[in-house]
Structure 1
Amino acid sequence: MLHKENQISSIKIKQVSLLAIILVLAALICFNLALFIPSVLGAITIYVVCRKYNFYLQEERKWKPWASALALMFASLIIIILPIYFIADLLIEKLGNAQAYMQKFNVFIDKIHDFVYSKTNFDILSKENMTKLKDFAGKYSTSALSGTLNTLTVVMSMYFILYFMFEKPRLFERILASAAPLKRSNVSLIGEKMRKLIMANAIGIPVVALGQGIVALVGYFIFGAPSPILLFALTAAASMIPIVGAAIIYVPICIFMIAEGNTGAGLGLGAYCMIVVGLTDNVLRFTLLKKLEDIHPLNTVFGIIMGMKLFGFMGLVFGPILVSFTLLLIQVYRNEFSDDDTPELQLPDKDDELEEKIDLIV
């Protein structure tokens, strides 16, 4: 008897075998179609953002599916894609000449280091650390820009996928729900949480970044910062990083301006950025992002690092979504297979007790 109990049932063997085959095939598909993963993520992101408008046009306004799909695709291109593409294209144009860019960056870092050392006699960056910083900046910026160069291919394939998602949305959602080997409650949980995560990352974070970039741009023009348009793009991109955010850009710029002899302008820009840009960040985050979804800063930090490495500039949005989705799947796994809720099921609710008493009386 004990020997039979310890044996693995044939059903479990079949389940494990089928799961292994599915994982191998999924890995092969992802490996060979890795170029299109950002397209799929982008299509899902825009679908979630425009979902209610698609149902409104098709089911209430009685638009033809193809007309609704094309209208929403065009609107998303104007509102969502073009601002992101503008910033990416600006960064590529300004930083495209990697050798010239690195020469300017090296002069910039040396100037800040020499100024701080002359004023404080504190070697903020040793020669070894400065070399590491320059190498890291060159390697990271080159990889980020090279990952951004295929943006046009990603966008075209993304809209190709998006059209079929928009055309028959009910069928698309039914296929996803039926394909998930999970309880219906967990499928609903994934759907709702992913909607909030995507809305927060695809709308909230870019709006906060764009707002900070525009406010900082005004200050760059007022105080005469070098290359204000480039600094606007860098500030908008850096503001997506939690905790430090836009300060990564404007603090070195202020020090550089002071080192160049523009003490008043450098101090004025520093005060402007800390007060006005910082206030803009706090107001937008505590109003817009809190309403959408409160994402932990560590999710955003590690998501951006991973996303930039995998997807280039578009990883600023997709990276945090993937990290949050992974943590969500862990929660769903616990809900699906954990027995932690067994004691709770043994404790009857007061309403259940009342119903039992009524049944006994009847």
Structure 2
Amino acid sequence: MNTSFNQKIKQVLILTLIIFLFCVSLKALYSFLPGILGAVTLYILSRNYYFKMVETKKWKKGRAAAVILFFFTLVLGALIYAGIALLGPKVNQWISDSAEIIAGVRKITSKILDRTGIDLFSESTLKELQTKLTAFVPQLFNATSSLLTNFVLMLFTLYYMLYNGKEIETQLTKLIPLKQKNITLLATETLTVVRANAIGIPLISIIQGVVATIGYMIFGVKDWALWGFLTGLFAFFPVIGTMIIWVPVVIMQYAMGDNWNATAVLIYSIVVTGNVDYLARITILKRMGNIHPMTTVLGVIVGLSLFGFVGLIFGPLLINYIIILAKIYINEFSAKENVE
């Protein structure tokens, strides 16, 4: 009895120490968390292909992992390059001509005030905006450095996760103190949610971005490619995401006196771009994982505040885990299960 009690005390102490050291390490690595979570995402997406190459085609583990890393580097590198190519010139213009931009905003604000009586930006707000534009350079440099560091860390971590994939999964299965059916449920739900959010949501965003770009091009929006790219980027946010971009575009066109095109963009964005989002979510996401829109909305809000951009994937996963763990709790500890 005494030996059993001492053994439990040891178990609790060791477990407490492990949790403490894990929390300390997590705090120290917090700025690199996007890279680590990105590696986990890519591992989940590519593990089946990797194991097929190694076990069926008899490739060497290092070679198979290197091929997958090369593929992801090309895809992600192309996306990053496209973003830099579209945003880079505008960012340089904003930095070098911040006073001119503020003058343009002031002019548009004045026109809106004359026509509608609504004052969008006060003088103090415009001065604050100019200060933020001036401080944008060091912030952009820090963000770029962090992005590159996390990108390299993601690829480095992914290589060793693939190389030691079987061993990692076996150890995780041993460490999780649940029944085998609940471990399987956890693994299945993780795979489903990550795939739906890592493939489905970017695919929906690309579709919306392309549709919005076509509308901007047809109705004479200046820098239509840039605004289309930004619309696709903000389409990650369900329901209101694209509005963050097309509403200012419509306001600018009205302010410049291009009333017909402004009205056309407004109608097109509500009827076409908005419905494309709805149709894509009820078809693509339902087929890939049947993720409830509310889970996505709450997950995006939570994920962005916790993990940054990669939180777009892991935020919904975190919300979904709450639901899964509730099911597992019932499976593990309900009276019916215990009787069985």
TM beyond 0.5: yes
Deviations 1:45-97 (A, max 9, x none): 11111122112222222222222212222222233453255326644553367
Report the more deviating stretch, 198-207 or 161-170. Answer: 161-170
- Whichever residue aligns with residue 324 of structure 1, its letter is L
Letter in 1 for 2:215: G
What is the distance in 2 between the residues matched to 1:202 and 1:328?
A: 16
| Equivalent residue, structure 2, for 1:76 | 72
- The aligned residue for residue 222 of structure 2 is 226
Q: Which has the larger radius of gyration?
A: 1
The 2-side partners of 1:321 and 1:119 are apart by: 45
Task: State the alpha-carbon separation in 2 of the partners of residues 303 and 108 from structure 1.
Answer: 37
Match of 2:209 among 204, 209, 213: 213
Counterpart of 1:199 in structure 2 is 195
Give RMSD over aligned pairs: 3.6
Q: How far apart in 2 are the matches of 1:141 and 1:288?
A: 39
Q: How does 1:204-283 map to 2 (within 5 A)?
A: 204-283=200-279
* Pairing partner for 1:36 from 32, 35, 58: 32
Q: Does 1:293 align with 2:289?
A: yes
Find 1:318's aligned residue among 311, 321, 324.
311
Q: Give the aligned length.
A: 336
Q: 1:164 to 1:129 in 2, by over 3 A?
A: same
* 1:111 Cα deviation after fit: 5.3
Contact 1:238 1:246 in 2 (8 A): yes
- 1:328 partnered with 2:324: no
CA distance in 1, matches of 2:214, 2:197: 25
Q: Distance in 1 between matches of 2:173 and 2:64?
A: 23
In terms of mean alpha carbon deviation, does 137-146 or 280-289 score higher? 137-146
TM-score by length of 1: 0.77
Letter of the aligned partner of 1:35 in structure 2? S
Within 5 Å, give how 1:24-103 maps onto structure 2.
Answer: 24-84=20-80, 86-87=82-83, 90-91=86-87, 94-95=90-91, 99=95
Is this contact kept in 2: 1:219–1:269, CA < 8 A? yes
CA distance in 2, matches of 1:80, 1:163: 16
**Alignment partner, residue 166 of structure 2:** 170
Cα gap change, 1:287/1:111 in structure 2, threshold over 3 Å: closer, same or farther? farther
Aligned equivalents of 2:37 and 2:320: distance in 1? 17
Residue 160 of structure 1: how far off its partner (Å): 1.3
Of all paired residues, the percent bearing the same amino acid is 30
Relative to structure 2, which stretch is displaced further, 254-263 or 140-149? 140-149
Unaligned stretches of 5+ residues in structure 1: 1-8, 349-362
Call closer, same or farther: CA 1:83–1:126 in 2, change over 3 Å: closer
Work out whether residues 295 and 319 of structure 2, in 8 Å CA contact, stay in contact via their aligned partners in 1: no
- Please, what TM-score do these two structures have when normalized by structure 2? 0.82
The separation in 1 between residues aligned to 2:326 and 2:10, in whole angstroms, is: 20
